[in-house]
Amino acid sequence: MRVIMTLTPDSEWDDDEVSERLMRGLRSDLVSLDVDSVGPVVAGPAPAGSKGADPVTLGAIVVAMSASGGVFTTVVGAVRDWLDRHGGRHKITLSIDGDTIELERATAAQQQDLVDAYVRRHSAG
């Protein structure tokens, strides 16, 4: 299973250096989990005639993991914990095969309802 995560920092914190620091912290949290890999999202080749493009989508990472064993649930929990630990109105978007959920500050009950439904759709079994 591959999950693409995109971090959108609070608009008051919208600075490339701060955004990169936030992303490094999130990546660090995810690497410590039982996932296969955590890496940058690499864009396709630049269109013909373009002056070049950044091959890495900034603020986005791909997390590869087993679809079984509850790893996905653990990853989503880690993302929620990360959001809870950081001030501001940051948002993290998770996408699996075009199915997307946006996590941001919300009540615990609101987040749990959304996460439970999303995890059920993408958990093995």
The three-state DSSP-derived secondary structure of 5-30 is EEEECCHHHCCHHHHHHHHHHHHHHH
Greatest CA separation for the chain: 50
* Per-residue pLDDT tens over the stretch 54-72: 444 567 899 999 877 788 8
Q: Is 5:26 a contact under the CB 8 Å cutoff?
A: yes
E strand or H helix at 121: helix 108-122
In the predicted structure, residue 98 carries a pLDDT above the cut 80: yes
Burial class (CB in 10 A: 0-12, 13-18, 19+), 30: buried
User: Is the model more confident about 44 or about 25?
Assistant: 25
d(CA 80, CA 77): 5
